[in-house]
Amino acid sequence: MAHVLGFPRIGAKRELKVALEAFWGNEIPQGRLLAIGRELRALHWQRQRDAGLDFVTVGDFAWYDSVLQTSAHLGCAPVRFGFDPRALTLPDYFTLARGDANHPAMEMTKWFDTNYHYLVPEWSSDTRFDGGVEWLFEEVKQAKGLGHPVKVALIGPLTLLHAGKIKSGLSSKLDLLPRMVPAYQRLLARLKELEVGWVQIDEPLLGLDLEERWLAAFPSTYEALAPSSPKILLATYFESVAERETMLKSLPVSGIHLDIVRAPQQLATFLNGYPESKVLSLGIVDGRNVWRTDLDAALASLNPARERLGERLWVSASCSLLHVPVDLGHEKALVPEIRQWLAFAVQKLDEIVALKRGLGGDGIAPALIASREASASRMRSERARSDAVRRQLDTLSERDIRRPSPFAIRIRKQRARLKLPLLPTTTIGSFPQTPEIRKARAAFRRGALVREAYADAMRAEIRRAVARQEKLGLDVLVHGEAERNDMVEYFGEQLRGFAFTENGWVQSYGSRCVKPPVIYGDVSRPGPITVEWARYAQSLTEKPMKGMLTGPITMLQWSFVRDDQPREKTAFQIALALREEVLDIERAGIAIIQIDEPALREGLPLRKRDWGRYLDWAVRAFKLVSSGVADETQIHTHMCYAEFNDILPAIAALDADVITIETSRSDMELLEGFGEFRYPNEIGPGVYDIHSPRVPDAGEMLKLLEKAERVIPLERLWVNPDCGLKTRGWTETEAALARMVEAARRMRARAATREHHAA
């Protein structure tokens, strides 16, 4: 059998996004939104059938998020909203996702190591699994009505439970399991009544480091579900589950799915003594990346399984196709040579079917030939190869990733050069991206504005930003990043080895999509990227101006990365290109250079045993960018919105002179980690949350600074917001920054009196 674990729901042209936003804006009635959802599902199922899959997958559709959708099916919406779970309406569901005047939205977090964000279920002793919406059953009826063979996909109970957060009254999430299981039983029984033959239950949780009690919950849970359920295919992905082999093989399910793109070695483990009664579904087409599958290699990996299992072998993608763009067919501007290397969701369906046919010995000759040609072209491509970059990387030594002097010496020289006050104030880089800026960029892209006119508009923007910062009395200025559409795309567009799609959208959360660049070849820098902007900005002021770059790990993490060499190799190539940029900025007379790495934490592997290796190369890549400068040049980095306490040693190992981090949401809790760890260099804990239009008063920020002082000595503290300000308006930005500067002044004044008294 050939099948997928899920298909992107957003639509090749983001039709669902457009419809959702129109509905939220009261531009279309609910009936119209429902109709668009129906049409998209029908289209996506038809795609699966046309390709030749044996099932269509139902249940992968969600109005906002699949975890929230599952909660809606089970009738377990967060209690604090006060909705009747038996009668949850679509507007209620959107209120859970987006909040309203009286209820903050449910929290959002990343789904495993993807860039997809789910809404975090809220568990408490009051949580009930009661009733639930009819949507899934309606979708099943829709698919059946269209004549499709149906497999339903659901997020599994243990993964769902684990994905939530305890809000109150529970000592363990597992305490809710006895209430949750009957809800799943009801749901599965209804599916059986509807004559659904197979249900795919996703338990990616099995790929994580798990406490024994979570693992122990699997057998009893599935023993409770199996009797009332359609046949169960238990789906694992993103990691090896080889360590859980014995338990998985003995579960009362009819099949298991393995991700053999991420974890190919586990196949042999499972094949050895695989139960006669079970199907094995192998995810061999990459659901996390955009490269065309090498069908010869894939067939070679699948063949031993075919010999052992015969018809019990199913072929699929590694995970849901949610994480790749929809259809390469809509890419008209990509260079043909690069285009032939790629496969988006629609193309992956064909690959899955080609593999199934290949295993059965029927004709896949044309597909095989095309795949061979594409692989050969990729291997031989001149466009993708730079011998100069490779030679340069080979000659790097440890000296290239170490600053000439230790921090204690550097900071003395930097202080002498910069002459900053105690508690220097600064911002993270971007200023409001006003409609005028966007208009100018769009006109430039369209060709309606010539390069020089566009540059003039951006320079005018920089002048305004500098004037505003001077007036506010900030100590270290930024140019404001007006010329950047996106912090990764902007650099990618000016580096070799990156390609950009027109419609390569991937859902990030709700109606929001991202269009990750494609790193297809060796990365190098044809010329300076930011230097002229930085030089111009510095020419407008006596105050130090920060040069501003996106770091190599963030560039990697927010792109589709080539899979024909280790990720770290690509990271070093990006780092080398950025190192040249850093040196050019330094030569232009800029004294402070910030290298942003907000995605350092999210690149962490799922299993702790792999953390060390990743952090080692990630740190080396950063240091390759930052270590070529003189002692007198101050290197900053910035990170935000992640749990940093468990990677503090690596953050310290970056050896940036200053780190600015987002902390205000956790009321500086994060900073305590830095204190306990005795973070050695300077640090700017964010003193206000940039995600809210609320302007905090100086007193609030002062309190946060006092808290910070308890863990980091004043001499090593900076004062700044949590993150960049590009999503805010100027009025609130100026008001908030004025108060931030005021808070820093008051703090300095206190320190001065204290010193006076001491003397």
Please give the residue ranges that form the binding site for Zn ion (CB under 5 A): 598, 640, 723
Q: Closest separation between CB of residue 724 and Zn ion, Å? A: 6
The residue among 489, 480, 488 whose CA lies nearest residue 434 is 480
Count of residues in the chain: 759
441/453 Cα distance (integer angstroms):
11
Of residues 546-565, which lie at the interface with ligand GLN (CB under 6 A)? 548
Q: Closest separation between CB of residue 449 and Zn ion, Å? A: 30
569/552 Cα distance (integer angstroms):
11
487 binds, among ligand GLN, Zn ion, none (CB under 5 to 8 A by kind): ligand GLN
The Cα-based distances of 347 to 102, 353, 623 in angstroms read: 45, 10, 39
**Cα dihedral 241, 245, 251, 257 sign:** positive
Positions marked catalytic:
691
Q: Which is nearer to ligand GLN, 429 or 547 (CB)?
A: 429
Binds ligand GLN by CB under 6 A, chosen from 598, 673, 686, 696: 598
479/491 Cα distance (integer angstroms):
16
Binds ligand GLN by CB under 6 A, chosen from 136, 476, 723, 747: 723
> For residue 378, how many C-alpha atoms fall within 13 Å in the half-sphere facing its CB?
22
Rounded to the nearest 10 degrees, the angle between the axes of helix 345-359 and helix 30-51 is: 30
Give the end-to-end CA distance of the chain in Å, rounded to a whole number. 82
Q: Which is nearer to Zn ion, 384 or 723 (CB)?
A: 723
Q: Closest separation between CB of residue 723 and ligand GLN, Å? A: 5
Q: Which is nearer to ligand GLN, 151 or 601 (CB)?
A: 601
Q: Does 345 bind ligand GLN (CB under 6 A)?
A: no
Residue 26 backbone dihedrals phi, psi, to 5 degrees: 60, 30
533/460 Cα distance (integer angstroms):
11
Cα-Cα-Cα-Cα torsion 175, 178, 182, 185, nearest 10 degrees, comes to 90
- Beta strand extents in 54-137 (DSSP E only): 56-58, 108-110, 117-119, 122-124
Binds ligand GLN by CB under 6 A, chosen from 41, 410, 638, 728: 638
The residue among 137, 176, 156, 592 whose CA lies nearest residue 410 is 592
Q: Does 374 bind ligand GLN (CB under 6 A)?
A: no
The residue among 547, 542, 561, 546 whose CA lies nearest residue 599 is 561
Q: Closest separation between CB of residue 432 and ligand GLN, Å? A: 11
Q: Fill in the per-residue mask, 664 to 703: x = in contact with ligand GLN (CB under 6 A), - = not in contact.
A: ----------------------------------------
456/13 Cα distance (integer angstroms):
34
Q: Closest separation between CB of residue 684 and Zn ion, Å? A: 12
430 binds, among Zn ion, ligand GLN, none (CB under 5 to 8 A by kind): ligand GLN
Cα-Cα-Cα-Cα torsion 241, 244, 245, 247, nearest 10 degrees, comes to -140
Non-local CB neighbours of 362 within 8 Å, separated by 6+ positions: none
Which helix H or strand E contains 737, and what residues bound it? helix 730-758
Binds ligand GLN by CB under 6 A, chosen from 155, 724, 737, 742: 724
Q: Which is nearer to ligand GLN, 156 or 480 (CB)?
A: 480
Q: What is the token pair recorded at 474?
A: 């900030």
Q: How many residues bind to ligand GLN according to rule CB under 6 A?
A: 13
Q: Which is nearer to ligand GLN, 70 or 550 (CB)?
A: 550
Q: Which is nearer to ligand GLN, 259 or 489 (CB)?
A: 489
Lookup result for tokens 């995605």: 599
620 binds, among ligand GLN, Zn ion, none (CB under 5 to 8 A by kind): none
Q: Does 726 bind ligand GLN (CB under 6 A)?
A: yes
Q: Fill in the per-residue mask, 414 to 453: x = in contact with ligand GLN (CB under 6 A), - = not in contact.
A: --------------xxx-----------------------
Q: Closest separation between CB of residue 549 and ligand GLN, Å? A: 9
Q: Which is nearer to Zn ion, 59 or 598 (CB)?
A: 598
Q: Fill in the per-residue mask, 469 to 508: x = in contact with ligand GLN (CB under 6 A), - = not in contact.
A: ------------x-----x---------------------
Please report, as ranges, the residues that interact with ligand GLN according to CB under 6 A: 428-430, 481, 487, 548, 596, 598, 638, 640, 723-724, 726
